[in-house]
Structure 1
Amino acid sequence: MSDLRIRPARVDELDQVEGLWLEASHWLAARGIDQWQYPPRRWRMEGAVRAGDCHLAFREGLLVGTVTVERQADLEWWADDDPDAALYVHDLVVSRVAAGQSVGARLLDWAGLLAAQREKPWLRLEAWKTNGLLHRYYLDRGFELLRIVDLPHRHSGALFQRSTGLAVAPEGDG
């Protein structure tokens, strides 16, 4: 991870966070994937930035990704799973200029180290229910699929976790 510089996003960088999300949304749509095909939830992004949970990743001064890592569990997903035993990853996005350079895996490893430092045994995330390629991505990075929860008002619901002691950043992921 030495080639990435990861730091909390600032409020004046909210447009950049939103821009990465929009780039990913358009890329997904071009591939026929229905994930994130709604307007960005800027209010949620701003809340994560203000809370210090949204982080930006830079390589050689170029913004290459973002990830939000929260202490608070979404109890619609995690109420039965010892919610305080993990940190929770949201809105992991890698810029297309850095696709295939292991940025996503390195951000996940960084989040896992952060969770370990906070004495949490698990790093957790919920993924889009219908994005099988994304599910495979997380499985290939050491996550276990716990279950898929089907809530009619939510598109996410594929619940994954991995031990915070695991780092598996392979070369060439998106």
Structure 2
Amino acid sequence: MILVPAELADLPRLLKFRTDSAAWLTELGIDQWSKPFPADHIIQSIRSGTVFMIKEAADADAAATVTLDRDADPRLWTEDEQKEDALYVHKLSVDRRYSGADLGGRILDWCGDQAARVGAKWLRLDAWTTNPRLHTYYLAHGFTHIRTADDPSVVSGWAAQRPALRTSAHAIRSPHSEMDF
């Protein structure tokens, strides 16, 4: 797999990740991502260089996407936690064609490696509050549950973190070099 920064031309595919994931989750009885996500927010993230597409080849359709940034939601993370150096995983989505291959786990390892490379102490994320299957997935990938927000306006309020660690085991590469990400 290779990882490339998303471009504005990728917006329709990024929105499709969201709608496809929402449809699959609905089949499982989970309301996650049932409301459309504002495209302008995704455009801002693309322009800031924090959205990535994971592909089998540079000219292939994306197998997955992730946003990795320093945007801590103050409704989830305390002031002291926000002062700690951390990177945050957002909008991780894997195409159903790749389910069962732990592509999501490899992406999380890449994110943890990136966090360690920039000197961050933590890799953090939040998950849909009413999706215990997703919570179990993140716990199995080394995350520790920190808290669940009690604010009813926070639907993705299950906050977790794991230490940022360098690794090359994720096998996601840049299309322009043989260097591991």
- Relative to the length of structure 2, the TM-score reads 0.86
Cα gap change, 1:132/1:106 in structure 2, threshold over 3 Å: closer, same or farther? same
2:23 counterpart residue number: 26
SS at match of 1:76: coil
Unaligned runs of 5+ in 1: 170-174
The one-letter code matched in structure 1 to 2:73 is D
Tell me what 1:145 maps to: 145
Once the two structures are superposed, the pairs formed by residues 116-127 of structure 1 within 5 Å of their partners are: 116-127=116-127
1:74-102 alpha-carbon deviations (Å, 9 max, x no partner): 21211334324200011000001111111
Q: Is the 8 A contact 1:142 1:166 kept in 2?
A: no
Q: % of aligned pairs identical?
A: 36
User: Aligned residue for 1:172?
Assistant: none
Which whole-Å CA distance do the structure 1 matches of 2:31 and 2:53 have between them?
Answer: 25
Structure 2 counterpart of 1:77, one-letter code: L
Asked if residue 49 in structure 1 is aligned to residue 46 in structure 2, the reply is yes
Cα distance in 2 for residues equivalent to 1:15 and 1:159: 28
Give the superposed CA RMSD: 1.6
Correspondence 1:58 to 2:48 = no
Give the gaps of 5 or more residues in structure 2: 171-181
Partner amino acid for 1:10? E
Letter in 2 for 1:33: I
Taking structure 1 as the reference length, the TM-score comes to: 0.90
- Given the alignment of the two structures, is residue 39 of structure 1 paired with residue 36 of structure 2, yes or no? yes
Partners of 1:102 and 1:166 in 2: how far apart? 19
> 1:154 deviation in Å?
1.5
Equivalents in 2 of 1:62, 1:109: separation in Å? 22
Query: Following superposition of structure 1 onto structure 2, how do residues 96-111 of structure 1 map, counting pairs within 5 Å?
Result: 96-111=96-111
Q: How far did 1:72 drift?
A: 2.5
Partners in 2 of 1:18 and 1:26 — Cα distance? 12
